[in-house]
Amino acid sequence: MSSPLLMIPGPIEFSDKVLAAMSHSSMSHVSPAFIAVFGENLTMLRKVFLTEDSASQPFVISGSGTMGWDLVASNMVERGDDVLVLHTGYFADSFTECFECYGVNATQLKAPIGGRPSLEEVEKALKEKKYKMITITHTDTSTGVLSDVKGVCELVKRVSPDTLICVDGVCSVACEEIQFDKWGVDVALTASQKAIGVPAGLCILMVSGRGIKAYENRKDPPGSYFASFKKWIPIMQAYESKAPKYFATPAVQLIYALNASLKEILERPMADRFADHIKASDYVKKAIADMGLKQLALKPEFAAHGMTAVYTPNDMPVGELMPKIAAKKVVFAAGLHKDIATKYFRIGHMGVSATDRSRGDLDTALKALKEALKETGYDA
């Protein structure tokens, strides 16, 4: 393979089958063959999200993970509603901005960099004010901090059961455990280019029956046109029942690629896939520690399993390290959290890089890092 090995927290490396599906010949978006593939994707997504409740509604829409916020903020809550945003990095700020765009009041509960709000802090916040929704960034891609989604869900059910639970799973769906039904999640959103393993361009959502009811009980119509549940629910329901229906032309080739990837994912139980990502993550994190490097995550249980955010040694500017790694045909991501962006980097280990260890992606990446560090004079 002459192209560089992409080890960033999305886009990830894609399987050969997925890339081949991207070149699918042009197909009518209302042809029975295509509709069947789209419908099958929706049904397979139920399995990926571990939901068996027929009231759950999957969505696959052309766009990006960012658009998932519009889908939540313009349909499930409305002008004047209060939402509690658990803040573990960059993406909570953006989600907050999205809520505000639609007139929704977002209150942030912030943690220091590398940390996450404690359950006690969340409980206190939930008791101080009635929130229509709480949002949890499962893995914040900017910091690699993992939230305790299960713990927060249990807490919400206990102290504020009417509050809708939103999981921003852009960097977690299909690599971190999400028990959509069991934990009582109301909406989980993701994008195609992360652990779902498909080139960027699709926004993917799962909404609970209760989440759909919250939309149905709105006083005002949805705040967005392209991101309107009113438009998309009939489309998704038609596709899943294998009937054509038109609102906007779907990204046909990406839908075929999604089909290829979901089939690969569902060849094994989701639990095995989550375990693979934990194993890969442990492997990377041990190697990082062995090199004497420090993670952003303040505690081991705060660290995501699909990526690792690592401080450069001795405050070395990341701009010095990155080109040396790139020269070895391995790509890491630079920092994104504005306060420390120049002092850390991020390694992605999702999808085939974690599940197909015969590719050797993790070792190739770690070797490149070790050698690059040595070249900077750091003795790893």
Annotated binding site for substrate: 346
Q: Which stretch binds its own copies (CB under 8 A): 51-59, 152-160, 251-259, 291-299?
A: 251-259
Strand (E) positions, the chain? 5-6, 57-62, 82-87, 105-110, 133-137, 139-140, 145-146, 164-168, 187-191, 202-207, 307-311, 330-331, 333-334, 344-348
Distance CA 380, CA 378 (A): 6
Q: Which of 105, 108, 224, 237 binds its own copies (CB under 8 A)?
A: 224
CB of 365 to its own copies, least distance (A): 14
DSSP category for residue 306: S
The yes or no reply on residue 27 touching its own copies (CB under 8 A) is yes
Strand partners, 311: 344
Per the CB < 8 A criterion, the answer to whether 42 and 239 are in contact is: yes
Q: Say if residue 26 is exposed, middle or buried (CB neighbours under 10 Å; 0-12, 13-18, 19+).
A: exposed
CB of 372 to its own copies, least distance (A): 16
Q: Which of 69, 180, 215, 344 binds its own copies (CB under 8 A)?
A: 69
Q: Which of 105, 107, 179, 253 binds its own copies (CB under 8 A)?
A: 253
How many CA atoms lie within 13 Å of 96's alpha carbon, on the beta-carbon side? 15
The yes or no reply on residue 200 touching its own copies (CB under 8 A) is yes
Q: Which of 98, 362, 369, 373 binds its own copies (CB under 8 A)?
A: 98
The yes or no reply on residue 19 touching its own copies (CB under 8 A) is yes
Q: Which of 60, 73, 284, 297 binds its own copies (CB under 8 A)?
A: 73
The yes or no reply on residue 28 touching its own copies (CB under 8 A) is yes
Q: Which contiguous run of DSSP H or E holds residue 72?
A: helix 65-73
The yes or no reply on residue 358 touching its own copies (CB under 8 A) is no
CB of 253 to its own copies, least distance (A): 4
Task: Choose between 22 and 340: whose C-beta lies nearer to its own copies.
Answer: 22
CB of 250 to its own copies, least distance (A): 6
Tell me the site size for its own copies, rule CB under 8 A.
59
Instruction: Report helix angle 119-128 to 149-159, nearest 10.
Output: 30
Q: Which two tokens stand for residue 89?
A: 């990095």
Q: Which stretch binds its own copies (CB under 8 A): 43-51, 118-126, 222-230, 307-315?
A: 222-230
Residues 137-156 contacting its own copies, CB under 8 A: none
**φ, ψ for residue 181 (rounded to 5)?**
-75, -55
Distance CA 181, CA 49 (A): 9
Chain contacts with its own copies (rule: CB under 8 A): 1, 3, 6, 8, 10-14, 19-20, 22-23, 25-31, 62-67, 69-70, 73-74, 97-98, 101-102, 191, 193, 199-201, 221-228, 246-254, 331, 333, 336
